[in-house]
Amino acid sequence: MLDKILPIKFENVSLAFSSNKIFKNLSLKISNKGISVIMGPNGAGKSLILKLMAGLIKPDSGKIVHANFPPKMNLPCGFVFQKPILLRRTVKENLKYPLGIIGLNKNEYDGVINNILPNNKWKLILNYPAKKLSVGEQQILSLLRAIIVKPKILFLDEPSSSLDPTSTAIIESLITKAAKNNVKIILATHNLVQAKRLAEEIMFFDEGRLMEQGRADKILADRKSLTTSHYLSEFI
């Protein structure tokens, strides 16, 4: 299935809100499996790139193509926003909800849920109200809910922004495990340290322009764009 979705291509994509042009004739291509990281300063357009790829918003002009995947079909993807979006129900009910959407037999719910939990602590809080979890736990739950339906692509918008180190470690572990299970990960972050831990490919954006794209080790070691170099040097 993933071979029918990759590569993802932007062909002269433009997007504006009112008179504010975000992207103008943007072209890019994501071909590789594994973890691709979108980097750049605030306002670079990282979140909008993810939403365009996922089909949550449409460009004003240009095309976004997912290999041979039919454009009128729903893309088999998951999306985790920077701020958790959860049901006002228990942790377990939040995990059951997407399983119901995909039509999984209810007799299989418990087994699937138990297999995806990151540690034993989560077995103890399955009946807790989701809204009473810490911010980090809520974001972990959001990620679990996206992963549980086995998407082919997972879009992550600053998934661990402002979270504590423990929550960040769990989130990164879940992301790495999903990638090893052949889920394509496309993650937006401004966190260079996180990018160094996770990224196999980096795309650097500034003011809606793709400044640089390539293997993570090469981008981090030999930055050709002065904009990229200046931004990343603040963290190195």
**Tens-place pLDDT, residues 9-19:** 999 999 998 87
For 222, the 3-state DSSP assignment is coil
Q: Cis omega before residue 129 (within 30°)?
A: no
Say yes or no to pLDDT of 226 above 60.
no
- Identify the pLDDT of residue 232: 63
- Identify the pLDDT of residue 236: 47
- Identify which of 234, 214, 70 has the alpha carbon closest to the alpha carbon of residue 224: 214
Domains of the chain, residue spans: 31-59+68-233
- Identify the pLDDT of residue 147: 97
Rg of the chain on CA atoms, in Å: 18
- Identify the pLDDT of residue 129: 97
Say yes or no to pLDDT of 32 above 90.
no
CB-based contact 146:79 (threshold 8 Å)? yes
CB-based contact 59:223 (threshold 8 Å)? no
Q: Which of 39-43, 51-55, 170-174, 196-200 has the lowest mean pLDDT?
A: 39-43
CB-based contact 22:45 (threshold 8 Å)? yes
Say yes or no to pLDDT of 179 above 90.
yes
Q: CB under 8 Å to 91, separation ≥6 — which residues?
A: 122, 125, 126, 127, 128, 130, 133, 141
Residues 189, 158: Cα–Cα separation, whole Å: 5
For 4, the 3-state DSSP assignment is helix
Token output for 44: 């670079």
What are the beta bridge partners of residue 202? 37, 214
Place of tokens 């996206």: 146
- Identify the pLDDT of residue 227: 60
Mean pLDDT over the full length of the chain: 90
Token output for 236: 């190195």
Token output for 230: 């200046």
- Identify which of 180, 182, 183, 199 has the alpha carbon closest to the alpha carbon of residue 191: 199
The answer as to CATH 3.40.50.720 being correct for domain 31-59+68-233 is no
Sign of the four-CA dihedral 81, 87, 90, 94: negative
Token output for 83: 């701020």
CB-based contact 212:223 (threshold 8 Å)? yes
